[in-house]
Amino acid sequence: MNCYDVEKLISAEEIAGKVRELGRRLSGMYVGKTLVVIPLLKGGAVFASDLIRCMDLDLQVEFIGAASYDEGTESSGEVRLTLDTSLPLNGRHVLLVEDIVDTGLTLAYIQKLIRSRKPASLRTVVLLDKRARRRVDVVVDEVVFSIPDRFVFGYGLDSPGGYHRNLADIVAVKD
């Protein structure tokens, strides 16, 4: 991390506490239902891993991947599907887990794709919401943290080149 001047934006302890709360709330919402949790890769994997361990439910996990960033810090505006689910989603309750909603382009694309598969329900939970950069309207049912328009990484989010996903805290590049 020597090439970045960063500050801690959200600590690992703050994240863990909020993820536990969300897991309890979601567990109550899905009692008696068959749930498929779909992390949006790559960034949503760390958040989803912690979240599902906080959910007292029988659930299945699928994965879906999309990219719109290439190697920089700005969205290209073009969303590419990089991995698709293998389970049929028709009639199932789906929980989409995303690390950050920024422009909204990737999330809107994935939500449209999942809705086309006729799930019984679709809810989206997002760790970080950066509303200042939104380019399209997108439905987000649960936001763990709202953040300012700053470049962040850690806790699953990467810095340019795909590094620093392993940091326990979420850090922001200093202005």
Positions annotated as catalytic residues are 102
Q: Which residue, 34, 43, 20, 28, is CA-closest to 152? A: 43
E strand segments, the chain? 6-10, 35-41, 59-61, 64-67, 80-83, 93-101, 121-129, 142-146, 152-153, 170-173
- Residues with Cβ within 8 Å of residue 2, at least 6 apart in sequence: none
Q: Other C-beta atoms within 10 Å of 148: how many?
A: 11
Q: The dihedral of CA 91, 101, 29, 155: what is its sign? A: positive
**In 3-state terms, what secondary structure has residue 114?**
helix
**In 3-state terms, what secondary structure has residue 118?**
coil
